[in-house]
Each structure stands twice: as structure tokens, then as C-alpha cells.
Structure 1
């Protein structure tokens, strides 16, 4: 992990008010990510600075552009190594977190990580389209997050069925995010959403990012989400 003051300065520059104890938690996260990545493929970014900027700060910056409600139920779709939701949880302990991924080995890492960090998180071994049909998860979340999972139109069908009316999808995108939001507008609307805001910004190293905020304004029709084959072959 990068030096303590450098990390705290990174958070401050990003608009996050850091606590001294945050450094230890993120250091543990960094170390475990590097160690486990030698056994299973979690990330291509393994250097200390890259993890700090391209994973941790990247995950936290959206929190400066959107006001999370208190005690939100949040599901991270295709969470992988826990981005963006676990860094968010470390800063906002009141988040009620569900980590969804289709690979059990990733979830095993996240269970061990959560135990080591002392955070409460539910792991859900499922595909997003399966969870979206399950009454235990359908339209039960205040917030869905997703980073680097799918194009915006496909992502809408994966995520919006999980979000309750009035809730939001936070889609963390690269420089193509604004165009993806335009291309995916029909899918977003069909699944009950509306693009509320689009923020273009950059990481401290200059890498371009876009946050697409989609508000759930009506219930998702029962036929969505479709199965994985239909979603990939015939995007909405």
C-alpha cells in the first residue's frame, strides 16, 4: 500500500474526508487483494499506487456526486474483487451491502476480506438476471452499483429489476459512459428507469471516468430481465 499520508491526501483531493483509521483498513484490503490475486484472477492492477488510485479512489469518487440515503440497501452487481462497494462500505458503515457475483471463488475472497475488515456483507452467488427474477431480491434495493460489467443497455436490464421504485443505479463507466447512456436509453426506459444525471470527471492520474445515475421511476415489467442468451443476442 502507498504511504499513509499520500493515501489520505488522495482521498482528501477526491473530496472524501478521510479518518486516520481508514488507512489500516485500505492497507489490509490492498494486501489481501495482492495475495489472493496470486491464486485467483481478481485484478490486472496489482501495484500499490494503481490499487490506491484505480480501485480505491475510483470506487469512492461517485460518493461525492450522489447523496447516498442513510442505511441504504445496496447491491453490487458483478462485484468481482469488491469494487466499488467495499470501499464505499469502509467509508459509510451504515450501508447494508450485498455482493453479487457468478463466481464462487471471488465470493470466497470477499467473505475472507469482509471478516478481516470486520464489515457485514451478504454474498450472493448468482447471475444478475437470476437474482432479478427472485422475489427475495427483485425491487428490494435502494441502490445498485456496477463497475466495468456491461454496456449501459445490457446493464440496465441486469440491474434495474433489483432496484426499488425511487432507488438508483450507479453505473461507473470509462470515457464512453455518456454515449453508452444515450445508446441504452430505450433499455433503461423499458426497465423502468430514467437517466437522472451524467458526470464526466477524471481520476488523480488523469484517466477519464463517467458516472451515469439512473433513477428507477416505475416498476420493471415482469418479462425483464430475460435470460442471459436473449440479453446478449438481442439487447433492448
Structure 2
């Protein structure tokens, strides 16, 4: 069902790459513990939701998707590649950097880049060790609580950098526990009729 829905929002060649990407996830998942998603849930929660959520974030921040080729995105702790890899496949003009400190998952992401012939910068170490601070958008999904995310991204925070963390309903409890955090919580209903919370600054 959601595989077919995804087909409606990307080109045929992009859809074929997404199919190959899903096959890579399913094949490697048992070895690398990439995600709890499988089958149609993988297409729904992993692929379709990543594309729709990142589309919302970029439109919210940049206002115009035509500006995508100028957008530099950092995805923290991407794991299987959510949300950035599906978004990159659908929007190959973005400048994507992924920070993934777990070796097995980093190896998987390298494999994805080579086998799908998609270009992104992969940094196989904690985000705190990244020296480049020049990003337009920093995102993370299912990585850490808000206080931890605030700590590990503090060196990147500037008027030119937009933080956009993807969260579920527990974000309100996390916000209460995050001292000296000054974030805005934006909710939207994605194409799955599911409420997503974007924490931004």
C-alpha cells in the first residue's frame, strides 16, 4: 500500500532506487540491527514518512523547494538512513552530510552510497567531533532526548543554522526537562494522517 503511495510522489528512476534501498535494508537488518521496520511498515514509517517530513521541514525553513540545491543538511545518527537517505533519493540536488558513530551502521551507509550511486558525505564519528559548522539544516530522528540533542548540537547553533528534530508526543515531557532550552514545537499532520512534531530553533 505505502510502496504504491511512495511511487506517486517520486519519479520512476527514484522509485527504483528506493526499492533497491529497501532491499538493502531488509538484507542487512539481521546483521546490523538497522531498524525495527519491515515490509509495508518500512515503506510507511521509513520511506514515505521520511520524504513527507523532510519536505515539510525544508518548505518551512526555506519556503521554496526550488532552492534545494543550495541546502546543506546534517543528519545526526542516521542509522538505516532515516530521514535523510529517502529524501536525498527524491531530491538528489541537496548537499547531505550524515554523522553515524556506530561502525556497522556506517558500513551499511557506505554500501548504500556505492550500490545506489548516491552522493553524500559520511562521517563515521560522533557529531561533536565534526569541525564543519556550515549547515543550513540539522536534523535527527529517534536519536536522543531533546536535552541531549541540544548539548551535542550547541557548537553548530547560529542564526544561519536551523535545527529541526523529528519527535513524537513525548517531546513535551522532554521540553520540560530541558533546562535553558528555547525551542519551538511545531506539529503537522503528514500524508499518513499521523501527527509529527518538529522541534526547531
State the TM-score, normalizing by the size of structure 1.
0.73
- How many residue pairs are counted as aligned between the two chains? 193
* Deviations, residues 96-149 of structure 1 (Å, cap 9, x unaligned): 111111112111110110111111111111112333xxxx32x32111110001
Correspondence for 1:180 among 164, 171, 174: 174
Structure 1 residue aligned with 2:24? 32
| Consecutive unaligned residues in structure 2, runs of 5 or more | none
| Whole-angstrom distance in 2 between the partners of 1:169 and 1:88 | 17
| Whole-angstrom distance in 2 between the partners of 1:213 and 1:200 | 13
Confirm or deny: 8 A CA contact 1:28 1:117 kept in the other structure. Answer: yes
Alignment of 1:43-62 (within 5 A): 43-46=35-38, 48-62=39-53
Structure 1 residue aligned with 2:136? 142
Q: CA RMSD in A?
A: 2.3
Confirm or deny: 8 A CA contact 1:177 1:211 kept in the other structure. Answer: no
Structure 2 residue aligned with 1:113? 112
Moved over 6 A (4+): none
Confirm or deny: 8 A CA contact 2:72 2:135 kept in the other structure. Answer: yes
Shift of 1:154: 1.5
Question: Which structure has the larger Rg?
Answer: 1
Higher normalized contact order (CA 8 Å, seq sep 6+, divided by chain length): 2
Shift of 1:24: 0.4
Structure 2 residue aligned with 1:86? 85
| Whole-angstrom distance in 2 between the partners of 1:80 and 1:119 | 17
Shift of 1:163: 4.6
Confirm or deny: 8 A CA contact 2:96 2:120 kept in the other structure. Answer: yes
* Deviations, residues 204-234 of structure 1 (Å, cap 9, x unaligned): 2x554312222xxxxxxxxxxxxxxxxxxxx
| Whole-angstrom distance in 2 between the partners of 1:34 and 1:111 | 16
Structure 2 residue aligned with 1:130? 129
